[in-house]
Amino acid sequence: MSTVIYPHIELSANGEPVLAGVVQVRWAVEIARRLMHTAGGPGSIRQLKFKSPIRPEALLDLTLTRSEGTSAIAFAFRSASGEHSSGRLHY
């Protein structure tokens, strides 16, 4: 069970505050919708990987890349410490 400290931040199993994975996916979907003009939500999310926790103080970069010839958009969250999460939104 996670304990919510403030919006979007939860305590991990070892008690460290981290950005919830479901929030990372939601942000990727919402930002893709606004910047890449997608309609609605994705039909599926594939190759979803959470590689390292995102701490509350992290400054994040989100990369969105539309795959040629498909309706998929790849996303990745990165900070100075490296890549935190990635996946493919299939519309």
Write the pLDDT tens digit of every residue in 25-60: 999 999 999 999 988 899 999 999 999 999 988 999
The CA distance from 25 to 28, in Å, is 5
Higher pLDDT residue, 3 or 45? 45
With cut-offs at 50, 70 and 90, classify the pLDDT of residue 67: confident
With cut-offs at 50, 70 and 90, classify the pLDDT of residue 4: very low
Kind of pairing between the strands at 9-11 and 4-6: antiparallel
